Structure 1
């Protein structure tokens, strides 16, 4: 019998991966006083800055490892 796929877990893995990847991207968060596309995408995924994205990715990954 096959194990059921847990969609909630896969979303957490995707979120952690995205936040870690985008948190390490070069480039500014603001240009001409306006948020860049990088910062807007981080905000859409629940992070307020690059540093926050890295921290959240690390926390999510640690929680996933402990399960």
Structure 2
């Protein structure tokens, strides 16, 4: 088995990676959303737009 990041042979200590560095690179990809699967569901787009609108209103509330 090879490391999914750099293709070197894996190290049992860091399996499935070859080193702590490659394990950290993989973790960073998860944390930044690089592994996210894009959605084509229109409901997801509507929810995103609603959430963005709510966030904008919280940042710049309209006077009552």
More helix by share: 1
TM-score normalised according to structure 2 size:
0.30
TM-score normalised according to structure 1 size:
0.29
